[in-house]
Chain A
Amino acid sequence: MPLPRLIPCLDVANGRVVKGVSFVGLRDVGDPVELATFYSAGGADELVFLDIAATPDDTQTMTSVVAEVADVLEIPFTVGGGVRSVADASRIIEAGADRVSLNSAALADPSLIGAIAQRYGSQAVVVAIDAGDGVVHTHGGRVATATPTLQWAVEAAERGAGEILLTSIRQDGQRTGFDLELTAAVRGSISIPVIASGGAGSAQHVADALRVADAALVASIVHENPAGLPGLRREIESLGVHLRPLKERI
């Protein structure tokens, strides 16, 4: 089994990191490229960029951000938000992203999952599921659909998704721990890996999540103190979860 992954998630709009990053050591906390490099140096195993504006203008900006990030980052990264077609996915992947994350567009047209997987491989397709009360939600978690969470996870996997990014709406932003029951239930129903998301408030929370999931997404816990990432990793390891050994450049 690959080692569990710690994945900082950056919300980006119009080419800028938009929320919650506070750190005086960075020249420009809003610069996605600088922050990505900083997190990579601090031991992030992977990064997720979520384009939260995703307007037509913004989409072009995001493509340039992806290219700039790809030129400096030597860890994998996923881009979500605004991927609604194979052409959108091509634009992002050909600019240098490793994977795209699909959310409402995949719900609206599930064949999109297979179409992107066919072209770039399953490993390039993440399906993001916002889950609450047993069903999938859209519009940033505000609107409940009739689709049961487990059923959608199984269908996404069958259609060629390479990973599920599972966010618990109830836990998101609460910092009281991940929804471990939901994560275990989803992971138990499929054979592709699962990233747990929503609720990270401490190293203990992340360690608990990494015992039931393949990776954990973290946001405010790292953005409040980007320099604390190496310390967070050490704390998670002291709780008995083995992350990848960090290497010195020779």
Chain B
Amino acid sequence: MSDVVIVDYGAGNTRSVRAAITHVGKSSDVSADPAAIVAAPYVVLPGVGSARSAMVHLNETGAAGALRERFQRGGAILGICLGMQLALASSEEDGGVRCLGLLEGKVVRLVADRVPRLGWAMVDPWGDAYYFAHSFVADAPDEVATSDGLTVAVERGSFLGVQFHPEKSGDAGLNFLGQCLSLV
């Protein structure tokens, strides 16, 4: 069994996440198989595509139920970008989407000087710059880090979600991923 299962929800590019996981010395598979998602040492819910199509795929394949079961059993899950947003109760994207509901809170349209919010930004209190590319943002109680005052990381139980892309954040991102996967 690989160290990490990257959850496949049919939206294309999981290549960069795989490459980054390889880079920090761990093996990975891309899969939507519910049994694999429940049993894997570590699960990454990546961030590509839109909320609605992601949830449709996750529900159809049974991956949504598997992620809930895994979370209840205390299995580690890292959500990246849309993958973090999907863990909340709902999203305003695509006219309103019911999400996984692992954590409380919702995803709202980002109000900022420039949207999409693109580029590297400092994350507090972690003290590093990471790469962001988003038009929606979490409004959630389990906030553990912010950037420009926005909630960019949430954590509850065995779920950690980040709005930025660690796989696109150079050495800072690799350090972050390495730390997440250090116990695997």
- Which single residue of chain A is at the shortest CB-CB distance from B19? A71
Verify if B119 is at the interface (C-beta below 8 Å from A): yes
A120 to B134, CA, bound (A): 12
Mostly, the A contact residues are: loop
State whether A5 touches B120 (Cβ < 8 A): yes
Chain A interface size, under 10 / 10 to 19 / 20 to 34 / 35 or more: 35 or more
Task: Report the minimum CB–CB distance from A98 to chain B (whole Å).
Answer: 7
Interface centre among A72, A93, A118, A247 (most CB of B within 10 A): A247
Q: Give chain A residues whose Cβ lies under 8 Å from the Cβ of B90.
A: none
Q: Give chain A residues whose Cβ lies under 8 Å from the Cβ of B170.
A: 40, 74-75, 246-247
| Known interface pairs A3-B129, A93-B13, A244-B129; A214-B171 also in contact (CB < 8 Å) | no
| Known interface pairs A70-B15, A75-B170, A192-B114; A2-B121 also in contact (CB < 8 Å) | yes
Contact partner, B116, options A93, A96, A162, A245, Cβ 8 Å: A162
| Known interface pairs A121-B135, A247-B171, A250-B175; A5-B116 also in contact (CB < 8 Å) | no
Interface centre among A70, A119, A244 (most CB of B within 10 A): A244
Task: Report the minimum CB–CB distance from B14 to chain A (whole Å).
Answer: 9
State whether A250 touches B178 (Cβ < 8 A): yes
Query: By the criterion of a CB under 8 Å from any partner CB, how many residues of chain B are at the interface?
Result: 40
Verify if B42 is at the interface (C-beta below 8 Å from A): no
Mostly, the B contact residues are: mixed
Task: Report the minimum CB–CB distance from A86 to chain B (whole Å).
Answer: 12
Q: Give chain A residues whose Cβ lies under 8 Å from the Cβ of B16.
A: 70, 74, 96, 98
| Known interface pairs A192-B115, A250-B175; A245-B128 also in contact (CB < 8 Å) | yes
State whether A123 touches B134 (Cβ < 8 A): yes
| Known interface pairs A1-B148, A74-B20, A249-B175; A123-B15 also in contact (CB < 8 Å) | no
Q: Give chain A residues whose Cβ lies under 8 Å from the Cβ of B140.
A: none
- Can you list 22 A-B contacts (CB < 8 A)? A1-B114, A4-B119, A40-B170, A70-B15, A71-B15, A71-B19, A74-B23, A74-B167, A74-B174, A76-B131, A76-B133, A90-B12, A96-B15, A118-B50, A120-B48, A123-B116, A162-B118, A191-B114, A244-B129, A245-B129, A247-B129, A247-B175
6 tightest Cβ-Cβ pairs between the two chains A and B:
A2-B119, A123-B133, A244-B120, A244-B129, A247-B172, A96-B15
Binding site for A on B (CB under 8 A): 12-13, 15-16, 19-20, 23, 48-50, 112-122, 128-129, 131-135, 148, 165, 167-175, 178
Binding site for B on A (CB under 8 A): 1-5, 40, 45-46, 67, 70-72, 74-76, 90, 93-98, 118-123, 162-163, 191-193, 214-215, 244-250
